[in-house]
Amino acid sequence: MRRVSNDANALVEDFRARIGREPTGVWAAPGRVNLIGEHTDYNDGYVMPFALAHRVLIAAAPRQDGTWNVTSLNNDSTKIFQPADLQPGMSGWQAYVAGVVWALQEAGHQIDGSDLVLTSDVPEGAGLSSSAALECAVLTALADLNDLDIVGLERAKLARRAENVFVGAPTGLMDQAAATLCTAGHALFFDCRTDDAEQVRFDTSSAGLEILVLDTKTPHALVDSEYAARRASCEEAARLLGVPALRDVTDLDAALDKLPDPVIQRRVRHVITENARVLEAVKVLRMGRIADLAPLLDASHESMRDDFEITVPQVDLAVETARASGALGARMTGGGFGGCIIALVPAGEAERIGHQIAQSFATAGYGPPAHFTAVPSAGAQRLR
Ligand code: GAF
Protein backbone atom coordinates (compact mmCIF):
# COMPACT_ATOMS: atom_id res chain seq x y z
CA MET A 1 0.00 0.00 0.00
CA ARG A 2 1.26 3.52 -0.78
CA ARG A 3 2.33 5.36 2.36
CA VAL A 4 3.19 9.03 2.80
CA SER A 5 4.50 9.80 6.24
CA ASN A 6 6.77 12.15 8.13
CA ASP A 7 7.07 9.98 11.21
CA ALA A 8 10.35 8.25 12.12
CA ASN A 9 8.73 5.70 14.49
CA ALA A 10 6.24 4.57 11.86
CA LEU A 11 9.09 4.17 9.40
CA VAL A 12 11.05 1.99 11.85
CA GLU A 13 8.03 -0.29 12.08
CA ASP A 14 7.82 -0.45 8.30
CA PHE A 15 11.51 -1.30 8.14
CA ARG A 16 11.09 -4.12 10.69
CA ALA A 17 8.09 -5.49 8.83
CA ARG A 18 9.76 -5.45 5.41
CA ILE A 19 13.39 -6.24 6.23
CA GLY A 20 12.87 -8.39 9.33
CA ARG A 21 15.40 -6.65 11.60
CA GLU A 22 16.13 -3.33 13.27
CA PRO A 23 17.40 -0.40 11.21
CA THR A 24 20.71 1.08 12.33
CA GLY A 25 19.14 4.52 12.25
CA VAL A 26 16.72 6.95 10.61
CA TRP A 27 17.84 9.97 8.59
CA ALA A 28 15.94 12.88 7.07
CA ALA A 29 16.38 15.66 4.53
CA PRO A 30 13.83 18.37 3.73
CA GLY A 31 12.25 19.92 0.67
CA ARG A 32 12.67 23.66 0.30
CA VAL A 33 11.10 26.85 -0.91
CA ASN A 34 13.31 29.52 -2.33
CA LEU A 35 12.50 32.87 -0.74
CA ILE A 36 14.28 34.76 -3.51
CA GLY A 37 17.09 34.28 -6.05
CA GLU A 38 15.74 32.21 -8.94
CA HIS A 39 17.96 30.84 -11.74
CA THR A 40 20.88 32.66 -10.16
CA ASP A 41 22.68 29.59 -8.78
CA TYR A 42 24.14 28.34 -12.06
CA ASN A 43 25.17 31.94 -12.83
CA ASP A 44 27.48 31.95 -9.79
CA GLY A 45 24.98 34.23 -8.04
CA TYR A 46 23.04 34.43 -4.78
CA VAL A 47 20.08 32.44 -3.46
CA MET A 48 18.03 32.44 -0.26
CA PRO A 49 16.04 29.24 0.28
CA PHE A 50 14.66 27.82 3.50
CA ALA A 51 13.93 24.20 4.39
CA LEU A 52 10.37 22.93 4.77
CA ALA A 53 9.00 20.66 7.45
CA HIS A 54 8.16 18.28 4.58
CA ARG A 55 10.97 15.77 4.28
CA VAL A 56 12.27 12.45 3.02
CA LEU A 57 12.88 9.89 5.78
CA ILE A 58 15.15 6.89 5.37
CA ALA A 59 15.58 3.93 7.71
CA ALA A 60 18.71 1.97 6.84
CA ALA A 61 21.01 -0.85 7.90
CA PRO A 62 24.12 -2.39 6.31
CA ARG A 63 24.00 -5.57 4.20
CA GLN A 64 26.87 -7.97 3.80
CA ASP A 65 26.26 -9.00 0.16
CA GLY A 66 27.32 -5.73 -1.52
CA THR A 67 23.85 -4.91 -2.93
CA TRP A 68 21.51 -2.02 -2.23
CA ASN A 69 17.96 -3.03 -1.52
CA VAL A 70 15.77 0.07 -1.64
CA THR A 71 12.06 0.30 -0.88
CA SER A 72 10.02 3.44 -1.53
CA LEU A 73 6.84 3.35 0.52
CA ASN A 74 5.42 6.17 -1.64
CA ASN A 75 5.76 4.08 -4.79
CA ASP A 76 5.18 0.78 -2.99
CA SER A 77 8.12 -0.52 -4.91
CA THR A 78 11.45 -2.22 -4.16
CA LYS A 79 14.55 -1.98 -6.35
CA ILE A 80 17.73 -3.94 -5.89
CA PHE A 81 20.95 -2.84 -7.50
CA GLN A 82 24.53 -4.10 -7.55
CA PRO A 83 27.77 -2.23 -8.28
CA ALA A 84 27.53 -3.12 -12.01
CA ASP A 85 24.10 -1.42 -12.22
CA LEU A 86 25.51 1.96 -11.22
CA GLN A 87 25.48 3.45 -14.70
CA PRO A 88 24.54 7.09 -15.38
CA GLY A 89 21.30 7.36 -17.32
CA MET A 90 19.25 5.10 -15.03
CA SER A 91 15.65 6.34 -14.85
CA GLY A 92 12.89 6.28 -12.22
CA TRP A 93 12.97 7.25 -8.54
CA GLN A 94 15.74 4.74 -7.85
CA ALA A 95 18.15 6.79 -10.00
CA TYR A 96 18.32 9.39 -7.21
CA VAL A 97 19.39 6.69 -4.76
CA ALA A 98 21.78 4.86 -7.09
CA GLY A 99 23.18 8.22 -8.24
CA VAL A 100 24.26 9.07 -4.72
CA VAL A 101 25.99 5.70 -4.27
CA TRP A 102 27.69 6.30 -7.63
CA ALA A 103 28.77 9.88 -6.74
CA LEU A 104 30.20 8.73 -3.40
CA GLN A 105 32.11 5.90 -5.07
CA GLU A 106 33.36 8.21 -7.83
CA ALA A 107 34.71 10.49 -5.11
CA GLY A 108 36.73 7.55 -3.80
CA HIS A 109 34.55 6.48 -0.88
CA GLN A 110 33.98 2.84 -0.07
CA ILE A 111 30.19 2.30 0.11
CA ASP A 112 28.98 -1.05 1.39
CA GLY A 113 25.59 -2.52 0.53
CA SER A 114 22.55 -1.61 2.59
CA ASP A 115 18.82 -2.03 3.12
CA LEU A 116 17.04 1.30 2.73
CA VAL A 117 13.35 1.98 3.32
CA LEU A 118 12.20 5.48 2.50
CA THR A 119 9.10 7.62 2.65
CA SER A 120 8.49 11.25 1.71
CA ASP A 121 5.83 13.87 2.25
CA VAL A 122 7.56 16.42 -0.01
CA PRO A 123 5.09 17.02 -2.86
CA GLU A 124 6.59 15.69 -6.10
CA GLY A 125 6.81 17.75 -9.27
CA ALA A 126 5.81 20.88 -7.38
CA GLY A 127 9.14 22.70 -7.49
CA LEU A 128 9.81 21.98 -3.80
CA SER A 129 12.96 19.92 -4.46
CA SER A 130 11.67 16.48 -3.63
CA SER A 131 14.56 14.96 -5.60
CA ALA A 132 17.29 16.96 -3.80
CA ALA A 133 15.64 15.94 -0.52
CA LEU A 134 15.86 12.29 -1.57
CA GLU A 135 19.48 12.60 -2.69
CA CYS A 136 20.52 14.40 0.49
CA ALA A 137 18.67 11.96 2.76
CA VAL A 138 20.39 9.00 1.05
CA LEU A 139 23.73 10.76 1.25
CA THR A 140 23.33 11.52 4.94
CA ALA A 141 22.34 7.92 5.70
CA LEU A 142 25.15 6.39 3.64
CA ALA A 143 27.76 8.81 5.03
CA ASP A 144 26.87 7.66 8.56
CA LEU A 145 26.53 3.97 7.73
CA ASN A 146 29.91 3.96 6.02
CA ASP A 147 31.65 6.23 8.55
CA LEU A 148 32.52 8.86 5.96
CA ASP A 149 34.06 12.12 7.02
CA ILE A 150 32.29 14.49 4.61
CA VAL A 151 31.22 17.96 5.74
CA GLY A 152 27.91 19.65 4.84
CA LEU A 153 28.75 21.47 1.66
CA GLU A 154 30.78 18.61 0.26
CA ARG A 155 27.69 16.44 0.79
CA ALA A 156 25.56 18.94 -1.12
CA LYS A 157 28.04 18.92 -4.00
CA LEU A 158 28.09 15.13 -4.20
CA ALA A 159 24.28 15.07 -4.22
CA ARG A 160 24.29 17.65 -7.01
CA ARG A 161 26.74 15.51 -8.98
CA ALA A 162 24.29 12.61 -8.70
CA GLU A 163 21.58 14.88 -10.10
CA ASN A 164 23.71 16.43 -12.89
CA VAL A 165 25.69 13.45 -14.10
CA PHE A 166 23.81 10.31 -13.03
CA VAL A 167 20.22 11.54 -13.42
CA GLY A 168 21.19 14.03 -16.13
CA ALA A 169 19.46 17.23 -14.93
CA PRO A 170 21.69 20.32 -15.40
CA THR A 171 20.71 22.08 -12.15
CA GLY A 172 22.68 24.43 -9.92
CA LEU A 173 23.61 23.77 -6.29
CA MET A 174 20.79 25.60 -4.54
CA ASP A 175 18.46 22.71 -3.77
CA GLN A 176 21.10 20.37 -2.38
CA ALA A 177 22.70 23.23 -0.41
CA ALA A 178 19.28 24.03 1.08
CA ALA A 179 18.51 20.40 1.96
CA THR A 180 21.92 20.04 3.60
CA LEU A 181 22.72 23.39 5.22
CA CYS A 182 19.42 25.00 6.27
CA THR A 183 18.60 25.42 9.95
CA ALA A 184 15.26 25.87 11.69
CA GLY A 185 14.06 29.47 11.99
CA HIS A 186 16.41 30.73 9.29
CA ALA A 187 16.70 31.34 5.59
CA LEU A 188 20.03 30.39 4.02
CA PHE A 189 21.86 33.19 2.22
CA PHE A 190 24.19 31.26 -0.06
CA ASP A 191 26.80 32.61 -2.45
CA CYS A 192 27.02 30.07 -5.26
CA ARG A 193 30.49 31.24 -6.30
CA THR A 194 32.32 31.47 -2.99
CA ASP A 195 30.18 28.88 -1.14
CA ASP A 196 29.77 31.40 1.71
CA ALA A 197 26.67 30.51 3.71
CA GLU A 198 24.90 32.70 6.25
CA GLN A 199 21.93 31.65 8.35
CA VAL A 200 19.63 34.68 8.30
CA ARG A 201 16.99 34.76 11.01
CA PHE A 202 13.55 34.41 9.43
CA ASP A 203 10.95 34.55 12.15
CA THR A 204 7.79 35.57 10.33
CA SER A 205 5.57 35.19 13.40
CA SER A 206 7.50 37.85 15.34
CA ALA A 207 6.57 40.22 12.51
CA GLY A 208 2.89 39.14 12.56
CA LEU A 209 3.32 37.44 9.18
CA GLU A 210 3.43 33.99 7.62
CA ILE A 211 4.47 32.36 4.37
CA LEU A 212 1.74 30.72 2.33
CA VAL A 213 2.95 28.08 -0.13
CA LEU A 214 0.44 27.30 -2.85
CA ASP A 215 0.99 24.41 -5.24
CA THR A 216 -0.71 25.25 -8.53
CA LYS A 217 -0.53 21.55 -9.49
CA THR A 218 0.32 22.58 -13.01
CA PRO A 219 1.93 19.80 -15.02
CA HIS A 220 5.66 20.46 -15.40
CA ALA A 221 5.57 19.54 -19.11
CA LEU A 222 8.46 21.62 -20.46
CA VAL A 223 10.48 21.96 -17.35
CA ASP A 224 13.55 19.94 -18.37
CA SER A 225 14.02 21.34 -21.86
CA GLU A 226 13.16 24.93 -20.88
CA TYR A 227 15.42 24.84 -17.83
CA ALA A 228 18.32 23.67 -19.99
CA ALA A 229 17.50 26.36 -22.58
CA ARG A 230 17.56 29.13 -19.92
CA ARG A 231 20.85 27.87 -18.63
CA ALA A 232 22.33 27.76 -22.14
CA SER A 233 21.17 31.36 -22.82
CA CYS A 234 22.86 32.57 -19.66
CA GLU A 235 26.10 30.82 -20.55
CA GLU A 236 25.96 32.21 -24.07
CA ALA A 237 25.38 35.72 -22.68
CA ALA A 238 28.36 35.42 -20.32
CA ARG A 239 30.49 34.31 -23.27
CA LEU A 240 29.34 37.25 -25.41
CA LEU A 241 30.04 39.65 -22.55
CA GLY A 242 33.47 38.17 -21.88
CA VAL A 243 32.78 37.37 -18.21
CA PRO A 244 33.14 34.02 -16.41
CA ALA A 245 29.48 34.11 -15.33
CA LEU A 246 26.58 36.58 -15.28
CA ARG A 247 27.41 37.21 -11.62
CA ASP A 248 30.31 39.30 -12.91
CA VAL A 249 28.19 41.82 -14.81
CA THR A 250 28.52 45.07 -12.87
CA ASP A 251 26.95 47.54 -15.32
CA LEU A 252 23.62 46.21 -16.53
CA ASP A 253 22.95 48.95 -19.11
CA ALA A 254 26.38 48.59 -20.67
CA ALA A 255 25.93 44.82 -20.81
CA LEU A 256 22.51 45.13 -22.46
CA ASP A 257 23.98 47.49 -25.08
CA LYS A 258 26.52 44.84 -26.01
CA LEU A 259 23.92 42.11 -26.54
CA PRO A 260 22.21 42.07 -29.92
CA ASP A 261 19.35 39.72 -29.15
CA PRO A 262 16.35 41.04 -27.15
CA VAL A 263 15.63 37.58 -25.69
CA ILE A 264 19.17 37.25 -24.34
CA GLN A 265 18.92 40.83 -23.05
CA ARG A 266 15.84 39.90 -21.04
CA ARG A 267 17.47 36.76 -19.64
CA VAL A 268 20.48 38.78 -18.52
CA ARG A 269 18.32 41.52 -16.99
CA HIS A 270 16.49 38.91 -14.91
CA VAL A 271 19.66 37.34 -13.53
CA ILE A 272 21.38 40.63 -12.71
CA THR A 273 18.34 42.26 -11.10
CA GLU A 274 17.49 39.05 -9.23
CA ASN A 275 20.98 38.92 -7.72
CA ALA A 276 20.51 42.53 -6.57
CA ARG A 277 17.14 41.63 -5.04
CA VAL A 278 18.69 38.79 -3.04
CA LEU A 279 21.29 41.18 -1.62
CA GLU A 280 18.54 43.64 -0.74
CA ALA A 281 16.47 40.85 0.85
CA VAL A 282 19.43 39.84 3.01
CA LYS A 283 19.78 43.43 4.19
CA VAL A 284 16.14 43.75 5.19
CA LEU A 285 16.10 40.37 6.93
CA ARG A 286 19.27 41.14 8.86
CA MET A 287 17.42 44.20 10.19
CA GLY A 288 14.38 42.06 10.99
CA ARG A 289 12.22 44.07 8.55
CA ILE A 290 10.40 41.07 7.10
CA ALA A 291 7.52 43.11 5.64
CA ASP A 292 10.05 44.90 3.44
CA LEU A 293 10.57 41.65 1.55
CA ALA A 294 7.19 42.15 -0.11
CA PRO A 295 8.18 44.53 -2.94
CA LEU A 296 11.21 42.36 -3.66
CA LEU A 297 9.01 39.26 -4.01
CA ASP A 298 6.70 41.15 -6.36
CA ALA A 299 9.57 42.47 -8.48
CA SER A 300 11.12 38.99 -8.61
CA HIS A 301 7.87 37.56 -9.93
CA GLU A 302 7.55 40.24 -12.60
CA SER A 303 11.12 39.58 -13.67
CA MET A 304 10.50 35.83 -13.95
CA ARG A 305 7.26 36.45 -15.85
CA ASP A 306 8.43 39.15 -18.28
CA ASP A 307 12.21 38.73 -18.60
CA PHE A 308 13.05 35.12 -17.83
CA GLU A 309 9.65 33.94 -19.11
CA ILE A 310 9.36 30.92 -16.84
CA THR A 311 5.88 31.42 -15.38
CA VAL A 312 2.62 29.94 -16.66
CA PRO A 313 -0.93 31.39 -16.50
CA GLN A 314 -1.87 29.36 -13.40
CA VAL A 315 1.16 30.65 -11.53
CA ASP A 316 0.51 34.25 -12.56
CA LEU A 317 -3.14 33.95 -11.53
CA ALA A 318 -2.15 32.54 -8.14
CA VAL A 319 0.26 35.43 -7.54
CA GLU A 320 -2.25 38.07 -8.68
CA THR A 321 -5.03 36.58 -6.57
CA ALA A 322 -2.78 36.34 -3.52
CA ARG A 323 -1.93 40.02 -3.82
CA ALA A 324 -5.53 41.06 -4.48
CA SER A 325 -6.63 39.04 -1.41
CA GLY A 326 -4.29 40.72 1.03
CA ALA A 327 -0.82 39.22 0.54
CA LEU A 328 1.92 41.81 1.02
CA GLY A 329 3.95 40.26 -1.80
CA ALA A 330 4.10 37.03 -3.80
CA ARG A 331 6.22 35.21 -6.34
CA MET A 332 6.67 31.90 -8.05
CA THR A 333 9.32 29.79 -6.31
CA GLY A 334 11.59 27.15 -7.90
CA GLY A 335 12.60 26.35 -11.45
CA GLY A 336 9.32 27.45 -13.07
CA PHE A 337 6.82 26.33 -15.72
CA GLY A 338 4.35 25.47 -12.99
CA GLY A 339 4.90 24.44 -9.41
CA CYS A 340 4.42 26.63 -6.37
CA ILE A 341 4.08 30.26 -5.42
CA ILE A 342 4.96 31.76 -2.05
CA ALA A 343 3.10 34.70 -0.57
CA LEU A 344 4.00 36.83 2.44
CA VAL A 345 0.68 37.23 4.25
CA PRO A 346 -0.57 38.61 7.59
CA ALA A 347 -0.49 35.92 10.32
CA GLY A 348 -3.69 33.86 10.29
CA GLU A 349 -4.58 34.83 6.71
CA ALA A 350 -2.88 32.01 4.78
CA GLU A 351 -5.95 29.79 4.91
CA ARG A 352 -8.33 32.46 3.64
CA ILE A 353 -5.97 33.58 0.87
CA GLY A 354 -5.35 29.96 -0.15
CA HIS A 355 -9.12 29.51 -0.51
CA GLN A 356 -9.44 32.70 -2.54
CA ILE A 357 -6.84 31.38 -4.96
CA ALA A 358 -8.66 28.04 -5.16
CA GLN A 359 -11.82 29.95 -6.07
CA SER A 360 -10.09 31.95 -8.76
CA PHE A 361 -8.72 28.68 -10.17
CA ALA A 362 -12.21 27.17 -10.26
CA THR A 363 -13.53 30.26 -12.04
CA ALA A 364 -10.72 30.07 -14.60
CA GLY A 365 -11.41 26.36 -15.18
CA TYR A 366 -8.12 25.18 -13.61
CA GLY A 367 -7.89 22.14 -11.34
CA PRO A 368 -7.81 22.66 -7.56
CA PRO A 369 -4.49 23.86 -6.08
CA ALA A 370 -3.21 22.84 -2.62
CA HIS A 371 -1.69 25.06 0.05
CA PHE A 372 0.09 25.07 3.40
CA THR A 373 1.91 27.47 5.69
CA ALA A 374 5.69 27.09 5.59
CA VAL A 375 7.84 26.96 8.71
CA PRO A 376 11.62 27.33 8.20
CA SER A 377 12.91 23.91 9.31
CA ALA A 378 16.11 21.93 9.78
CA GLY A 379 18.37 20.54 7.05
CA ALA A 380 19.51 16.94 6.63
CA GLN A 381 20.15 15.09 9.88
CA ARG A 382 20.09 11.80 11.71
CA LEU A 383 16.87 11.44 13.71
CA ARG A 384 17.64 8.30 15.71
C1 GAF B 1 15.73 24.20 -9.81
C2 GAF B 1 17.21 23.85 -9.80
F3 GAF B 1 17.39 22.58 -9.33
C4 GAF B 1 18.03 24.83 -8.97
O5 GAF B 1 19.40 24.54 -9.11
C6 GAF B 1 17.73 26.28 -9.38
O7 GAF B 1 18.38 26.61 -10.58
C8 GAF B 1 16.22 26.52 -9.46
O9 GAF B 1 15.56 25.56 -10.25
C10 GAF B 1 15.89 27.89 -10.01
O11 GAF B 1 16.32 28.88 -9.14
O12 GAF B 1 15.20 24.04 -8.53
The pLDDT tens digits of the residues spanning 41-90 come to: 999 999 999 999 999 999 999 999 999 999 999 999 999 999 999 999 89
* Rg from Cα positions in the chain: 21
Sign for the pseudo-dihedral over CA of 350, 356, 359, 363: negative
Q: To test ligand 1's pocket by mutation, which of 160, 171, 223, 267 has the most ligand atoms within 8 angstroms of CB?
A: 171
**Are the C-beta atoms of residues 133 and 381 closer than 8 Å to each other?**
no
Q: Which atom of ligand 1 is nearest to the CA of 127?
A: 12
Q: Which of 14, 175, 215, 298 is catalytic?
A: 175
Q: How far is the CA of 271 from the centre of ligand 1 (A)?
A: 13
Angle between helices 94-106 and 130-145 (to 10 degrees): 50
Q: What is the pLDDT of residues 170-221, one digit of tens each?
A: 999 999 999 999 999 999 999 999 999 999 999 999 999 999 999 999 977 6
Q: Which atom of ligand 1 is nearest to the CA of 163?
A: 3
Q: How far apart are CA 40 and CA 9, in angstroms?
A: 38
More confident residue, 2 or 233: 233
Q: What is the pLDDT of residue 2?
A: 54
Name which of 352, 343, 266 is nearest 298 in CA terms. 343
The phi and psi torsions of 51 (rounded to 5 degrees) equal -80, 145
Within 10 angstroms of residue 319's Cβ, the number of other Cβ atoms is 28
Percent of the chain clearing pLDDT 70 (strictly above): 98
Kindly indicate the confidence band of residue 5, based on its pLDDT and cuts at 50, 70 and 90: confident
Q: What is the pLDDT of residue 230?
A: 97
Q: How far apart are CA 211 and CA 189, in angstroms?
A: 18
**Are the C-beta atoms of residues 190 and 36 closer than 8 Å to each other?**
no
Q: How far is the CA of 174 from the centre of ligand 1 (A)?
A: 6
Q: Which atom of ligand 1 is nearest to the CA of 231?
A: 7
pLDDT surpasses 50 at 143: yes
Q: To test ligand 1's pocket by mutation, which of 41, 48, 230, 311 has the most ligand atoms within 8 angstroms of CB?
A: 41
**Pocket lining for ligand 1, CB < 6 angstroms:** 34, 38-39, 41-42, 129, 171-172, 174-175, 334-335
Q: Is 175 designated active site?
A: yes
Q: How far is the CA of 10 from the centre of ligand 1 (A)?
A: 32
Percent of the chain clearing pLDDT 90 (strictly above): 95
Atom 8 of ligand 1, nearest CA residue:
335
Amino acid letter at 244?
Answer: P
Angle at 317 between CA 203 and CA 331, to 5 degrees: 30
State if pTM tops 0.95. yes
Average pLDDT over residues 310-325: 98
Amino acid letter at 166?
Answer: F
Q: Which atom of ligand 1 is nearest to the CA of 174?
A: 5
Q: Which atom of ligand 1 is nearest to the CA of 41?
A: 7
Q: How far is the CA of 127 from the centre of ligand 1 (A)?
A: 9
**Are the C-beta atoms of residues 49 and 35 closer than 8 Å to each other?**
yes
Within 10 angstroms of residue 77's Cβ, the number of other Cβ atoms is 13
pLDDT surpasses 90 at 331: yes
Atom 2 of ligand 1, nearest CA residue:
171
Name which of 232, 285, 289 is nearest 263 in CA terms. 232
pLDDT surpasses 80 at 1: no
The rounded mean pLDDT for the chain is: 96
Q: How far is the CA of 3 from the centre of ligand 1 (A)?
A: 28
pLDDT surpasses 80 at 3: no
Pairing of strands 68-72, 114-120: parallel
- Residue 186's H or E segment, with its range, is strand 186-191
**How far is CA 183 from its chain centroid?**
15
Atom 3 of ligand 1, nearest CA residue:
171
Query: DSSP letters along 128-156, please?
Result: S-HHHHHHHHHHHHHHHHTT----HHHHH
**Are the C-beta atoms of residues 325 and 357 closer than 8 Å to each other?**
yes
Kindly indicate the confidence band of residue 222, based on its pLDDT and cuts at 50, 70 and 90: low
